Amino acid sequence: MLTYLLRRVLYAVPIALAVGLVCFMLVQIAPGDPINAIVPGDAPREVVEQVRRDYGLDKPLYVQFGLWLLKVLQGDLGRSLATGRPVTADLYSAVGNTLTLAFCAAMIGFVLGSILGTVAAVFRGTILDKVAVGFSAAGVSVPHYWLGMVLVIVFSVTLGWLPAMGAGPGGSGAWAWNWAHMQFLVLPAVTLSVIPLGVITRTVRGVVMEMLNQDFVTTLRGKGLRRGGIARHVLKNAAPGVLAVMGLQLGYLMGGSILVETVFSWPGTGFLLNSAIFQRDLPVLQGTILVLALFFVALNLVVDLLQTALDPRIRRA
C-alpha cells in the first residue's frame, strides 16, 4: 500500500506542474491589458511603462512564468493589481467559504442521490423508479443560475423566509456555524446540490442494478441471506465506482460554483474569480485558478487511494 501511495503522489507532481503552466498561459492570452486596472487610461506613457516594470510585466513570458512559479513554491501568489492586497489573504477566506458551500451541497446531493438511486434500482420499473429517474434528469438539466434566481424570488422576495445574498448578517464574509449565518447558506447550497444529486442518482441506480444481476447476489439469495445482508454486499461492491463519481462531482462543486456564488453574492472563490475577470486582475486570476486546479488534483489522488482501500484488486492491477 505504501508503494502504491508513493507512486500515486509522484504521478501527481508533473500533473501539478502542468496545471500551473496551463493556468499561467490561459490568463496571459486573455484579451485586455492588466495595467488598465492600476493606472487611469489617460496616464502618461512613462508612468505606464514604470508600473509595467514594477510588476515584472515587461519581461518575456518564460521569465514571468519562472518567477511566478518560484514565488508559488514559496507560498507567495503575489498581490492584487486592483486592491494591492496579498492574493493569499483574499484566497484564505474565499476558499474557506467555498469549501463550506461545496461541502454542504455535496452532502445534500450525495446523500439524497444515493438514497434515490438505490430505491430506483431495487424497485426498477415501478413508479418510484420513474420518479427518481425523472428527478435526476431534471437535476442535470436545470441551469444553476436560473434555479438560484427562482429560489430567491420564491423564498426571499415572496415568502421572506431566507436571505437572498451574502454569507452573514450585515454583509459579513466571516463564517460561523450558527443559524444567523447558516440561513444564508441554505439557498446557494440547495442550488449547487441539484446537479450532483441528479448525477449520483443515475450513477448509483446503474451500478446497483448491475450488481443485483451478478451471480454472487443469486448465490447469497440461495443461501437464505436476508435483504439487509445482500444490500451490504451490493453496496460494498458498488462503492468504488460511485466514489470516483462523487470525487469528480466534489471537484466540480469547488470549481464550478462561480455562477451560483455570483447570484447569491457568496464571498467564495467563484465570486472572487468573477470579480478578477472583470478587473483583469492577473495575480488573483492565476492564484485562484491554480488553487482550484490543485484541489482537483489532490481530490483525485484521495479518491484513488480510497478506491484502492475499498477494492484491493485495483492495487494488484
Following DSSP, what letter does each residue of 32-51 receive, concatenated? S-GGGGTS-TT--HHHHHHH
Asked whether the predicted pLDDT for residue 217 surpasses 80, the reply is: no
pLDDT at 42: 66
More confident position, 59 or 151? 151
Output the pTM of the full model.
Answer: 0.78
Cα separation of 195 and 189, whole Å? 11
Burial of 206 (0-12, 13-18, 19+ CB in 10 A): middle
* Residue 175 and residue 168 in contact, taking contact as beta carbons nearer than 8 Å: yes
Reply yes or no on whether the pLDDT at 37 is more than 80. Answer: no
Query: CA angle 25-31-34, nearest 5°?
Result: 80
Name residue 79's beta-bridge partners. Answer: 86
Cα(12)–Cα(297) distance, integer angstroms: 7
Nearest CA-CA partner of 262 in 280, 278, 283: 278
Evaluate if residue 97 carries a pLDDT over 80. Answer: yes
pLDDT digits (tens, 9 = 90+) for 107-165: 898 888 888 888 888 888 888 888 888 888 888 888 888 888 899 899 988 888 888 88
Q: Can you read off the three cell numbers belonging to residue 137?
A: 434528469
- Residue 213 — very low, low, confident or very high, per pLDDT cuts 50/70/90? confident
Determine contact, residues 295/103, Cβ cutoff 8 Å: no
If you search the block for the grid coordinates 450525495, which residue do you land on? Answer: 110
Over 60: is that where the pLDDT of 315 sits? Answer: no
Report the Cα 47 to chain-centroid distance in Å: 40
Cell digits for 50?
A: 514604470
Q: Which of 306, 305, 291 is nearest to 251 (CA)?
A: 291
Residue 76: its H or E element: none
If we measure between CA atoms, which residue out of 288, 299, 295 comes closest to residue 26? 288
pLDDT attached to residue 227: 66
Work out whether the CA dihedral 182, 184, 187, 189 comes out positive or negative. Answer: negative
180 pLDDT band, cuts 50/70/90, is: confident
Structural contact between residues 114 and 242, judged by C-beta atoms closer than 8 angstroms? yes
Q: How confident is the model at residue 39 (pLDDT cuts 50, 70, 90)?
A: low
Q: Which domains can be identified in the chain, with CATH numbers?
A: 2-73 (no CATH), 87-279 (1.10.3720.10)
With beta carbons less than 8 A apart as the criterion, state whether 94 and 174 touch: no
Amino acid, res. 64: Q
Q: Please, what is the angle between helix 179-212 and helix 87-122, to 10°?
A: 40
Confidence of residue 35 (pLDDT cuts 50, 70, 90): low
Alpha-helical runs (H) found in 123-214: 127-141, 144-151, 179-212
Average pLDDT over residues 240-268: 79
